[in-house]
Structure 1
């Protein structure tokens, strides 16, 4: 049995008939969707942690390096997304370009990324919310705000936010996108406020030494803050719900990445200029910097922006997770009974509810010790495969319609693969070991279930019977 059997693009599109998603999103919706996921935990938490522990003021260069790797991968994503207007992102692209077993591996990696990432982000949202309520004089009992390992019974705030966002995603993508717009504008306003009031307090002495950990620290910092960029690839999961995917998907992917990169570098520069980088290793570096210059009200305002920011990240992570599940279920990689579109809301409600329950359980009962590097590993792996996929399709099917073409493909694609692979080598050994174990489990699932139940098997059987 051919492990590298590929999907035909025309057949993929026909395969969505009867359970296709509503087309409700435009270019601006997609840009804001990307920004909603990119700008959140990274800018409000990881910027300070990576500066203090890895790169110092050179964290600005770390963001440039990670942003460059993402930019190259983004152009590859944009080409494939415009060619294959079907949900599934890197999983679907790999199925078309390389073959089924590689596609399954990518999808399995993305499931890990989105599930663990969503649970960790929900736990972080809970922490910010509990802290904000405490500053307002409302102290919630530890029993209901901490997991059992931390002396609590259930992390109720994280379960509540997961339940609310799950319900919102079931109602429809348009409703979710509307909330995302509101929250994105709030958090962008808070970031703009921080830059406006903190910039005059920059002391250039804090930028010395600029590279306290050397260039190696910049590379290690880039591998860490790469988590901050996770999100632009989620835009490609919305391709099936886009009104004009050929034009809007490239705009959404590249546009959200450009805006996020500029803001990340600006915030990193101001943070490390206002306070010594060694003091930024805390859960709220932006609010901390404002308190350090005596702006307590501004600190509270930024904390509110952080909650909005983390909410949008969680919303888009959960959205992307369900779309990956949907694509894999359609192909028989997981039970096809999960592929049911709600007759009224036009959303994959069963998959959404299942995913929401799993994430709520993880965030409510278990300590989330898997740090950002694990999510980075799954994403970097997907980026490498997507970039290779562009090259493969250019060689094997050069005449396929390409509404958006990756420029200088002979330069962009190799650089995307090399930069992403370089960042992988800078991840901790424990992360690589965990990812390896996860992939082994995935291959067991593939060879015991998915390969036998693949939609490609049914297709080949029907062809043989007709013959």
Structure 2
């Protein structure tokens, strides 16, 4: 391994790992890491879902920035600089707890991203397209599939391309975030001066347990991802220096890029008018009427003149932003799965790095196929309802993502104990405290995802997800638990299929 004596598990790196790692190319510099992180953490697809909880959402956004985002940034900064091996979170988990734990954790870490790309992100892109370029009218089924499949496979193609080319998608995505969210924030101020703001009282910011239960999973989902650049650890030019640099600056920018637009939406739209799917897009259209257009008595927004021009530009930037979110996560999680393939925790067939591109093309194609399958299946099950499709896939993506951190966050103190002599350019303070706090928050969020309101009034009126009744809580529990358990079992299967690779290296 490249960073310190990571030799106790496995005793020696498989021959396959040594061969595949020689195909990797170093193209990942300091600012690439920063832009990659911004695309990883700042996702505009969930801004509406957070804002729909009202002013209380802003309170919990700031609270979780302090108690979750900052500690996770500190933890990942140490792991990423001390153990900058390709595969990042898979390497940390498997070396701390063994390959079986690494295999299960890594499968969860990977599978959520093609699910997210083919569901939540694709539908968000469609919503932006129909809102800004199709007069708000839904696409017919053939047009829907044409647009979404083009979206999905454009992302897969970007992940397949060599990193010196593919990394420009995250770079463009980061600048799109700056422009889109910055322009929106400035326009909210202009809109407030011209029309007045919706407004809310100071009491609306008061936190409640019900609000925490509803918001903590999606806010934590927004705030994870600092480790993703380390999935390309062997492609970094100077990870010991650049990883902490990117993480700490990315943390500050991420909070600002979430807080300002969410506050702007709450100022512009009444809470009852904010939806999880279209809340941010609707707010953009409404405030852009200051450049040309008007809001009708029934709330319908019509853009004209320069407002239409800026609206179209915002639509393009929104689509590029959600695409870049998917591309960065696919780039990273696919690399982690490929590493587990050549390390003996997944089928060897998947652990192949392309000699031509220096990327895991086989896993990239597999991600595209999974995304396509999710897109088609979810569209059929929800009878073409974009809002239902968005909500269903978002819940699954959040739960599988967060559970995967049950292997990542506890790894810090165990790796310190197992590899005390590994150079650590940065050392996180209070490693046990940070790991325990983060892990407990993940456990709490996971419980609330499968049993909303547990500990107070499970599936009570203030906790049941939209569209569900208390009588259906058992059914809802199964819809959340069955996929999670199934994914974990597939992780075990992947570990079993990796046995020949482990045996060749003398590992277990």
Provide the TM-score with structure 1 as the length reference.
0.85
Counterpart position of 2:47: 47
2:237 aligned residue: 243
Q: Which residue of 2 aligns with 1:178?
A: 168
Report how far residue 235 of structure 1 moved: 2.0
2:32 is the counterpart of 1:26 = no
Offset, 1:94: 0.7
Tell whether the 8 Å contact from 2:340 to 2:351 is kept in structure 1 after alignment.
Answer: no
Match of 1:151 in 2: none
> What is the SS of the residue equivalent to 1:17?
helix
Map 1:373-384 to 2 at 5 A: 373-384=395-406
Aligned equivalent of 1:371, options 389, 393, 401:
393
The residue number in structure 1 matching 2:407 is 385
| Aligned-residue offset at 1:196 | 0.9
Offset, 1:204: 7.5
Higher helix proportion, which one? 1
Structure 1 position 214 matched with structure 2 position 214:
no
**1:37: how far off?**
2.5
- Answer yes or no: is 1:92 the counterpart of 2:138: no
* Structure 2 equivalent of residue 358 of structure 1: 370
Contact 2:34 2:249 in 1 (8 A): yes
How far 1:170 moved relative to its partner? 1.9
Give the counterpart of 1:188 among 168, 178, 186.
178
Change (3 A) 1:206 1:403: same
Give the Cα–Cα distance (whole angstroms) in 2 for the partners of residues 351 and 126 of structure 1.
26
2:87 is paired with a residue whose SS is coil
What secondary structure sits across from 1:87 in the alignment?
Answer: coil
**1:164 and 2:154 are equivalent in the alignment:** yes
Q: Partners in 2 of 1:105 and 1:448 — Cα distance?
A: 9
| Structure 1 match to 2:315 | 303
1:142 counterpart = 2:164: no
1:132 corresponds to which residue? Answer: 132
Contact kept in structure 1, 2:37 and 2:250, CA below 8 Å: yes
Structure 1 residues 273, 329: closer, same or farther in 2, change over 3 A?
same
1:365-413, CA deviations, whole angstroms, 9 ceiling, x for partnerless residues?
5424633232222332233322211111223433332222112324322
**Paired residues of 2:68 and 2:220 also in contact (CA < 8 A):** no
Shift of 1:76: 1.8
Contact map agreement 1:114 1:320 (CA 8 A) in 2: no
- Report matched runs for 1:65-84 at 5 Å: 65-67=63-65, 68-84=67-83
Contact 1:145 1:156 in 2 (8 A): yes
Q: Which residue of 2 aligns with 1:63?
A: 61
Q: Give the aligned partner of residue 335 of structure 1.
A: 347
The aligned counterpart of 2:435 is 413
Q: Distance in 1 between matches of 2:71 and 2:10?
A: 24
Per the TM alignment, residue 34 of structure 1 is displaced from its structure 2 partner at its CA by 1.2
TM-superposed deviation, 1:265: 1.3
Q: Tell me the residue number matched to 2:335.
A: 323
Q: How many pairs were matched up? A: 443
Cross-structure match for 2:495: 450
Equivalent position of 1:102 in the other structure: 101
Distance 1:233 1:432 in 2: 30
- Displacement after TM superposition at 1:64 (Å): 2.0
C-alpha change, 1:410 and 1:286, in structure 2 (3 Å) is same
Instruction: Give the whole-Å Cα distance in 2 for the aligned partners of 1:141 and 1:417.
Output: 42
Correspondent of 2:219 among 219, 222, 225: 225
Q: Does 1:38 align with 2:83?
A: no
Question: Which residue does 1:149 correspond to in 2?
Answer: none
| Alignment-derived partner of residue 150 in structure 1 | none
Query: Retained in 1: the 8 A contact 2:450–2:480?
Result: no
2:263 pairs with 1:276: no
Equivalent residue number for residue 468 of structure 2 = none
SS of residue in 2 equivalent to 1:405: coil
CA distance in 1, matches of 2:411, 2:103: 14
Secondary structure at the aligned position of 1:80 is classed as helix
SS at 2:496's partner residue? helix
TM-aligned CA distance change 1:13 to 1:460, over 3 Å: closer
Tell me which of 399, 405, 411 is aligned to 2:421: 399
2: CA distance, partners of 1:235 / 1:171? 17
2:200 match: secondary structure: helix
The 8 Å contact of residues 159 and 166 in structure 2, kept in 1 or not, is answered as: yes
> Contact conserved, 2:347 with 2:494, CA < 8 A, in 1?
no
